[in-house]
Structure 1
Amino acid sequence: MALPFYTISDLDLANKTVLMRVDINSPINPDTGEILSFKRIEEHARSIRKLPLCKLILLAHQSRPGKKDYVNLSEHAKVLSDLLERDVIYVDSLFQKRAVDAIKAMEVGDIILLENSRFYAEEVVLKDATMDTQEKSHIVRTLSPLADVFVNDAFSAIHRSQPTLVGFCRLMPSCAGPLMEKELRALKRVTENPERPCIAVLGGLKVDDSIKVAEHLLGRNIIDKLLTVGVVGSMFQWADGYDLGTPNINFIRSELKDADELVERCRKMLAEHPDRICYPSDMALNRDGKRERITLSELPADAPIYDISIDTIARYSIVIKEARTIIANGPAGVYEIPEFSEGTIEIFKAINDSEGYSVMGGGETTQVIKDRKMTGIDHVSTGGGALINYLSGKEMPALGALRTSRGMFPEGEEESQK
């Protein structure tokens, strides 16, 4: 499956000075500075192992200004060193003299991690700027003459336009890194001529994200069936005329400022795709901490909906078993409470056991898969906003920059033909 830009196999990186953008943005204990999850760092460690020996300069960010986890990258460098069993030198500078001197002193095989790119105003204020403007930033103007190749491995940031993500691509040969390539090949497989039947399972609290994804996947006929769970399922029930009950309507309105607009968009999808959208036929209420089943015909509910129930689990599991391609994002209920984790676990188990090709994403989704040791899922994405934007058909600035670079530097074409 061809990609419209170079990958590391297309460019000669051996013994070169390589700028590599990664996304090691990780959850951090604000009191101790301890990194709480190594998942993203582990993924990029795998990418680094696939590179030939070179002088490797890593660019990365952590959080954003004003957040408690907006810290330097010294701990990230230590974790990466441990994972690689190689020294990763942290440099507390991005493009000032300390960074330049460190880069000039590198030898083949060295790895340095420069400072949190968002410590510098350009990386933050130029987030929506053109490539021309990104190229003129101090970050890019200082670092680009020091490197031979740019590798973007930060899949989870492809929906952003910032100097360290797009600014180098017209100034040097640029390519997608191994993690980026793996993510994009998986997503292309489920969105471009997927094996049929192709289904999506969308849930969780981020209803606006799920609705954007649903509109694109249904509108482009990418999926044959949409299974909705969680608050997403409740929204479609509401849109189809069911009274969810005061506790649930109040909760949705408290979580979603634009609830009425989102319901209307759900209603429009139901009108346009009446046979392709499924919502739960029975749910589990939280009745004073106890699980209580309720069917659609018994609505409105006088207690909050916390999960899907047995009939919906059985019905959805059949659809999942018959699917050849599965896209899934978000849990089916409040899975953190054991009493209401059944729907999420059973739906994910059905996906795990399915013979179809499956791609799953979402922070909560990832945690359930890890906790339950579900190894039958083909691809678990590292992307959050990037995954949602990709599945919504949005333009990806970082991918556009890589495509532009391929057109400007034909040496990659020559290398790939050797």
Structure 2
Amino acid sequence: MKASIRDVDVAGKRVLVREDLNVPLKDGRVTDETRIEASAPTLKELARRHARVIVTSHLGRPKGAPNPEFSLEPVAERLAARVGLPVSFARDCVGKAAQDAVDALQPGHLVLLENVRFHAEEEKNDAGFARALAGLGEVYCNDAFAASHRAHASVVGVAGYLPAYAGDLMLAELHALHRALDEPRRPLVAIVGGAKVSTKAGVLRHLLPRVDSLIVCGAMANTFFAARGIQMGSSLVEPEAFDEARNVERQAGAKLVLPVDGVVAREMKPGQETRTVAMDAVEDGWRVLDVGPKTRELYARRLRDAGTIVWNGPPGVFEIPEFAAGTRALGEAIASTAAYSLVGGGDTAAAVEQLGLGPFSHVSTGGGATLEYMEGKELPGVAVLKDEK
């Protein structure tokens, strides 16, 4: 495990904290504070211990130049509300504006720097930019697990110039993934959904030898059936991933659980006529958009005695009410077990939030980072942190 910022004497020190405050904005207002809320414990604890807390983050894709649409300024107000302390705002993350804001910072206070992606050097992991960022602090703390699959200057580069530690959120994410995937209580059931086999191929390959059951759902499952030569109507399939699907099915054997029925419609939009059909009986012009009731029952049976459950990817188009029942039933089935349950970030976390599902042992804030960990990859932003002694 990685060394914790809690083990460092931070009193009076300038602590540069990388958070993931990449939140949705509409008309200059934050519309979802999940990531702000998740960052608060580390920041509150540092302030309580009289650190001078300098917060960095990215927001959106401003293409390496200042763009008011992607300013972090609206986030400062909501961060202050979550932390319960004033948060000042610096109109740049390097240079005079940043340095002046840091110089004015008192122990126990926080400043949020402007979007690091307003500088093209951030995503290039430019050494000069990383050195300039690091020059603002005396200690570095990475609390942005969700950004740690990216070798960017504020995630990786600064660790070359400052002693680098993990924040509370980072450690919680790593502990949850380690407990679920590296030292699971058996049986371990993994649920992998989503649109494309190609985007989850690495996850499937890495999980197969480790799991006791592998539930493949969502539009990914269509490709498995199509690879057998079954007609899937107008459903999304990936012909270029047929070989990958066949290989997974061959290696998985009895571990693999595919849907037995699906909810179909002609179009993926609200108000459509729906039918429930067997997965080998999808007619032309119809597409599978959710799992059917027999599949929901099958999932519940498979999950009932699980020791550990890892869920990454919804089984249906949960955003549309007609196709949300499968995701709701799956979430409820997981929550009803005594298993340690890890919910992968991205779409799955969004589904849990939207449908009010849970409780789960851990809901990850990471999308791509969680996927890469599940593929067995080392995350650059984690690798550069000091190891626990």
TM beyond 0.5: yes
Aligned partners of 2:311, 2:185: CA distance in 1, in Å? 16
Distance 1:277 1:147, change over 3 A: same
1:230 alignment counterpart? 218
2:264 alignment counterpart? 285
Which residue of 334, 341, 349 maps to 2:332?
349
1:256 alignment counterpart? none
SS at match of 1:43: helix
Aligned partners of 1:336, 1:101: CA distance in 2, in Å? 45
Please state how far the C-alpha of 1:297 moved relative to its aligned partner. 4.2
1:267 and 2:259 equivalent?
A: no
Q: Which amino acid aligns with 1:55?
A: R
2:315 alignment counterpart? 332
8 Å CA contact retained: 2:63, 2:117: no
1:416 alignment counterpart? none
Please state how far the C-alpha of 1:88 moved relative to its aligned partner. 0.5
Aligned partners of 1:188, 1:386: CA distance in 2, in Å? 14
Any idea what the Cα deviations from partners look like across 1:63-116, whole Å, max 9, x if unmatched?
113599851111011111122221111100111112112212221112111110
2:52 alignment counterpart? 55
1:155 and 2:145 equivalent?
A: yes
Aligned partners of 1:80, 1:338: CA distance in 2, in Å? 33
Q: Which amino acid aligns with 2:217?
A: V
2:292 alignment counterpart? 309
SS at match of 1:165: coil
Aligned partners of 1:176, 1:147: CA distance in 2, in Å? 15
Q: Which amino acid aligns with 1:363?
A: G
1:203 and 2:186 equivalent?
A: no
Q: Which amino acid aligns with 2:104?
A: A
Which residue of 201, 210, 228 maps to 1:240?
228
Please state how far the C-alpha of 1:350 moved relative to its aligned partner. 0.2
Distance 1:297 1:83, change over 3 A: closer
Aligned partners of 1:41, 1:206: CA distance in 2, in Å? 30
Please state how far the C-alpha of 1:310 moved relative to its aligned partner. 1.4
Aligned partners of 2:120, 2:100: CA distance in 1, in Å? 22
Aligned partners of 1:80, 1:296: CA distance in 2, in Å? 47
Q: Which amino acid aligns with 1:25?
A: N
Any idea what the Cα deviations from partners look like across 1:325-362, whole Å, max 9, x if unmatched?
10101211122222221111111110111110000123
Which residue of 2, 6, 11 maps to 1:9?
6
Structure 1, unpaired ranges of 5+: 127-133, 253-258, 407-411, 414-418
Aligned partners of 2:266, 2:145: CA distance in 1, in Å? 42
SS at match of 1:24: coil
Any idea what the Cα deviations from partners look like across 1:103-136, whole Å, max 9, x if unmatched?
122211121111100001110233xxxxxxx4x3
Aligned partners of 1:290, 1:202: CA distance in 2, in Å? 27
Q: How does 1:127-166 map to 2 (within 5 A)?
A: 134=126, 136-137=127-128, 139-166=129-156
8 Å CA contact retained: 2:123, 2:151: no
8 Å CA contact retained: 1:63, 1:69: no
Q: Which has the higher helix share?
A: 1
Normalising to structure 1: TM-score of the pair?
0.86
Any idea what the Cα deviations from partners look like across 1:21-56, whole Å, max 9, x if unmatched?
001001122xx1222111101111122122222100
Matched length: 381
1:364 and 2:347 equivalent?
A: yes
2:85 alignment counterpart? 86
Normalising to structure 2: TM-score of the pair?
0.92
SS at match of 2:365: coil
1:71 alignment counterpart? 70
1:177 and 2:167 equivalent?
A: yes
